[in-house]
Amino acid sequence: MPRIAVEDNSRLSLRIAAADKAVLLRAAALQNTDLTDFIIRHGVKAAREVIKQAERMPLSERDSLRVLALLENPPPPNEKLLAAARALPPSV
């Protein structure tokens, strides 16, 4: 279960197996950097990729054409949409 991020704390504490830490230290040394920089650089890169994958929805050519057609020729609003629009507060 995800935990709530603490915004005012720039420290990160984690437990790691000794063998995994040794691998990270070796990789950091091979790139002439320290462990913190290595983990941040590669961790942020991996996190951005996970976010990118989660926010994209690949569509087939057929589905892409369907979406474009619906954007160009949207269906008329149904009763639920009209009711939701009527329930909105008046704009200022």
Q: What is the pLDDT of residues 52-86, one digit of tens each?
A: 999 998 999 999 999 999 999 999 999 999 999 99
CA gap 86, 92 in Å, rounded: 15
On the question of pLDDT at 46 being above 70, the answer is yes
Q: What is the mean pLDDT of the chain?
A: 91
CB within 8 Å of 39: residues ≥ 6 apart: 24, 28
